[in-house]
Amino acid sequence: MQFELLKPIADFFVDKNLNLIAPELILTVFFLASVCGVTFAKTDKERFNVWNYAFLGCLLTLICLLLFWQTDYFNQASEESLLVFNNMFKADSLSVLTRILLAGGSLLVLLFSRVFIERALKETAGEFYVVFLSALLGAMFLSGANDLIMMFVSLETLSISSYVMVGMIRGNLASNEAGFKYLLYGGVSTAVLLFGLSILYGLTGSTQYVGVFTGFIENASQLSPIVLSMMSVMLLAGIAFKLSAAPFHLWAPDAYEGGATPVIAFLSVVSKIAAFVLAVRLFSMIFIGLQGWVPLLSALSVLSMVIGNVVALTQKNIKRLLAYSTVAHVGYLLLSFVVMSETALGSLLYYLITYLFMNLGAFAVVTYFENTTGSNSIADYAGLIRKKPLITLTFSVMLLSLAGIPITAGFFGKFFIFQAVATSGNQYLWLIVIALLTSTISLFYYLNVIRLMVIEAPSSKVSALPDKDAWLSSVPPFATNTVLILCFLMTVLMGIFAEPTLKVCKAVINQSVLTHTAIVASAADGNAVQSDIKVDIHQKP
């Protein structure tokens, strides 16, 4: 009887392909639940318990996504059966993989941030989780966006939630300043991006990725190069802001320094991954035939690598250091767009996965340290090994991985990208040289932190930590502990077993992006440009 009633609903869902966005629907339910939770909460304790909704929401979303991954429905499914909302959202393997990363990353952030958020935000901690979930929701929709409007709306959901989260610490000037700065920069860049998108629509007459792509092919001869380059520059500036690629990175250090540390962890990992997947889709599904991007992207990449790594050398605050290190990593990642081959994009995905674990691990330690000592100064990390050997070990491994020391996952992330770029032609060798040189520079500031922690005498803050009487006393609270162990294991294991992961990443890229582009290109009406593009695509190794 009950099933009879539910059947039309189930049919409706399947009919509209809504089962493909089941994770988002689950998350929305929990989002609404947390809104109710905050609204009806009377005491601080009840507000703090909104964390449970957020945690459960992320967990169920993750499980749902992992089930998707298990069934590999995207292997058999046709292109159309993966589309939702009139082709606005595409639940292909790329979006499933990305959403797993997003939900998993958010789950980790929630795990290690609870104590910190309650201490820092006090009575607004409940609202924080609401905004957190809406940001995650935006990021998840962004990762599957198949339409310029969908892309823009979800990007804004993510961005506005991020502005709020960064400026959320009430009465804290640094946080409010950071939030406001982020909002101003973000607002301008959004306007620029939107302008670029509207030009794109004007040029091609469609907002769908497929439509834009075929529009380019069909109208190739009539497109004015000036308008085209204006559109490119604007789009790129907008995306570069979201990626915090130099020279659009200026908001990042301030936002990182002022924002609550878990928020920054979320921004530097989850929202970066979403933005990169957006870029993957734009560059490989729309602009793959246009060569004009290469110099622009190379410039962004080189600037990010150089500025990120060089400026990081002088930082005294660990969060600012990680901000500049993020800029530098964005530089390495952008290299893969310069080449745009299957290997390069697969390596990009691999790098994003490793980056998730190593950066979140690092931020978990920073959060823990700030929570126990109240300091973010690098100098205060001195002598940490005397009190917290295991934390120091984990942090060191994360930093070594970020620096790209062999056998860690970070090394292979860089290695794969550099290799993909190096093998695709001699004209890119100078990029590799710069990348190698700047990653050598990066060794100095990462290793400096390790040096401080291991060699130097304990700082006053570290001395004030409780004495280590037994080996296990260095273990932090359970939740943080889980995150640290997971990140540590993944960073090491993904280094040793880099190959299988890379294979999966390549398959995902091939299946959901490159094949799609090739089909659309060959389906489009035949003219001169089309054959050029076809050759272009088939040349990719």
Compute the radius of gyration of the chain from its Cα atoms.
23
- Please tell me the distance from the alpha carbon of residue 245 to that of residue 257, in angstroms, as a whole number: 17
CB 430 within 8 Å of CB 380: no
The two three-digit tokens of residue 238, written as one number? 């907008």
Q: Is 504 in the site for other proteins (CB under 8 A)?
A: no
Query: In the set 22, 59, 233, 405, which binds other proteins (CB under 8 A)?
Result: 405
Residue range at the interface with other proteins (CB under 8 A); choices 197-205, 265-273, 479-487, 499-507: 499-507
DSSP per-residue letters across 72-91: THHHH--SGGGEETTTTEE-
In the complex, minimum distance from the CB of residue 302 to other proteins, in angstroms, rounded to a whole number = 19
Nearer Cβ to other proteins, position 192 or 435?
Answer: 435
Query: Which amino acid is present at 300?
Result: L
In the complex, minimum distance from the CB of residue 340 to other proteins, in angstroms, rounded to a whole number = 19
Q: Is 60 in the site for other proteins (CB under 8 A)?
A: no
Q: Is 463 in the site for other proteins (CB under 8 A)?
A: no
Query: In the set 86, 314, 423, 522, which binds other proteins (CB under 8 A)?
Result: 423
How far is residue 16 from each of residues 76, 82, 85, 87, 258, measured CA to CA in Å? 18, 10, 7, 11, 44
- Please tell me the distance from the alpha carbon of residue 518 to that of residue 221, in angstroms, as a whole number: 20
- Please tell me the distance from the alpha carbon of residue 514 to that of residue 350, in angstroms, as a whole number: 17
Query: How many other C-beta atoms can be found within 10 angstroms of the C-beta atom of residue 411?
Result: 19
Residue range at the interface with other proteins (CB under 8 A); choices 98-106, 237-245, 440-448, 518-526: 440-448
What are 90's strand-pairing partners?
83
In the complex, minimum distance from the CB of residue 499 to other proteins, in angstroms, rounded to a whole number = 4
What are 89's strand-pairing partners?
84, 145
In the complex, minimum distance from the CB of residue 430 to other proteins, in angstroms, rounded to a whole number = 14
**Residue owning tokens 């929701």:** 137
Query: In the set 80, 467, 469, 499, which binds other proteins (CB under 8 A)?
Result: 499
What are 317's strand-pairing partners?
377
Query: How many other C-beta atoms can be found within 10 angstroms of the C-beta atom of residue 145?
Result: 25
Q: Is 455 in the site for other proteins (CB under 8 A)?
A: yes
The two three-digit tokens of residue 519, written as one number? 């089909």
In the complex, minimum distance from the CB of residue 348 to other proteins, in angstroms, rounded to a whole number = 16
**Which stretches of 16-49 are DSSP H helices?**
22-40, 44-48
Q: Is 502 in the site for other proteins (CB under 8 A)?
A: yes
Q: Is 406 in the site for other proteins (CB under 8 A)?
A: yes
Residue range at the interface with other proteins (CB under 8 A); choices 6-14, 99-107, 246-254, 399-407: 399-407
Q: Is 434 in the site for other proteins (CB under 8 A)?
A: no
CB 339 within 8 Å of CB 424: yes
Nearer Cβ to other proteins, position 190 or 309?
Answer: 309
Residue range at the interface with other proteins (CB under 8 A); choices 95-103, 136-144, 196-204, 443-451: 443-451
Contact map string, positions 15 to 54, toward other proteins, x by CB under 8 A: ----------------------------------------
Residue range at the interface with other proteins (CB under 8 A); choices 168-176, 199-207, 289-297, 401-409: 401-409
In the complex, minimum distance from the CB of residue 103 to other proteins, in angstroms, rounded to a whole number = 29
Give the chain's count of helices (H) and strands (E).
26, 2
Which residues of the chain form contacts with other proteins (CB under 8 A)? 385, 389, 405-407, 419, 422-423, 436, 440, 443, 447, 451, 454-455, 471, 498-499, 502-503
